[in-house]
Structure 1
Amino acid sequence: MRIFHKYQPLLIAKHVKGFFSGRLYIHGRGAFSYTMGLLVMPENAKARHKETVLEINRLIAQMQIPSATA
């Protein structure tokens, strides 16, 4: 389990994408689990939890889009 003492979405997204499955804790936001390289939405998630999951998963999706180089 990885513990993040500050909410840094990009760092968390890189961790989730790199380790593929596991659990993490974000101070002030709570515990999260991830599988297949994406955060999993818990059944009884509160609004702040949902926002965090959606934001991290959106960043992971953006990292997977190849950037066009000229």
Structure 2
Amino acid sequence: MRIFNKYQPLLIAKYVKTFFKGRLYIHGRGAYSYAKGMLIMPEQADDRHRKTVSEINRLIGQLNAPQPAA
């Protein structure tokens, strides 16, 4: 289990994308599970959990998208 002391969405998204399956804890936001490279919505999710999961998963999707050549 990885513990993040600050909520840094991009760092968390890179971690989840890299390790693909496991658990993590974000100080002040709670514990989360992830599988297949995406955060999983907890069964008893409150508003903060829902916003966090959707933001992290959106960033993971952006990281997976092909970047246009400059």
Q: Percent identity at matched positions? A: 69
Shift in Å, 1:43: 1.4
Matched, 1:37 2:58: no
Q: TM-score, normalised by structure 1?
A: 0.98
Unpaired runs of at least 5, structure 1: none
Output the CA distance in 1 between the equivalents of 2:63 and 2:6.
21
Residue 61 (structure 1) aligns with: 61
What one-letter code is carried by the residue in structure 2 that aligns with 1:50? R
Shift in Å, 1:44: 1.2
Count residues in correspondence: 70
Residue 23 (structure 1) aligns with: 23
Q: Find the residue that maps to 2:58 and give its secondary structure.
A: helix
Q: Which of structure 1's runs of 4+ aligned residues deviate more than 3 A? A: none
Q: Find the residue that maps to 2:17 and give its secondary structure.
A: helix
Residue 9 (structure 1) aligns with: 9
RMSD over aligned Cα, in angstroms? 0.5
Unpaired runs of at least 5, structure 2: none
